[in-house]
Amino acid sequence: TAINIGYSCSLLTPEAELLRLCAEDAADKGGMAKGPSGLPEEPDMQWKLEELRSELAHAPPGRTFALVVDTGALQALQDYGLEDQFLELCHACRSVVCARVSP
């Protein structure tokens, strides 16, 4: 998986807290609801971005983060015009891994 590859090439490290923004997690974890397109719905994407930004803001000094995002979440971010909020989140992370979940 992309996460395993990230660890093997030291893009991801055990010291960094791993944040996930993945459409594939939506149904599995009872979190983000999926709309008719199969993508997370806009309010859920906004909520998830805010949740992750809040986690970063309340982290102890020196804490590092890595973000894993899948193609479904990237598509939803673009469709809903949330690119700026996503980029803010990315800039606060040491690493960002964009994972493709299907060929």
Q: What percent of the chain has pLDDT over 90?
A: 69
Between CA 45 and CA 76 the distance in angstroms is 8
Between CA 73 and CA 24 the distance in angstroms is 8
Question: pLDDT digits over 3-52, tens only?
Answer: 999 999 999 999 999 999 988 765 555 556 667 677 888 999 999 999 99
Between CA 65 and CA 28 the distance in angstroms is 23
CB 48 within 8 A of CB 40: yes
Between CA 94 and CA 44 the distance in angstroms is 25
Whole-number average pLDDT of the chain: 88
61 pLDDT exceeds 70? yes
**Which residue ranges make up each domain of the chain?**
2-99
The 3-state DSSP class for residue 4 equals helix
Report which residue type is found at 92: A
CB 72 within 8 A of CB 103: no
Among candidate residues 11, 31, 7, the one with its CA nearest the CA of residue 21: 31
Report which residue type is found at 95: S
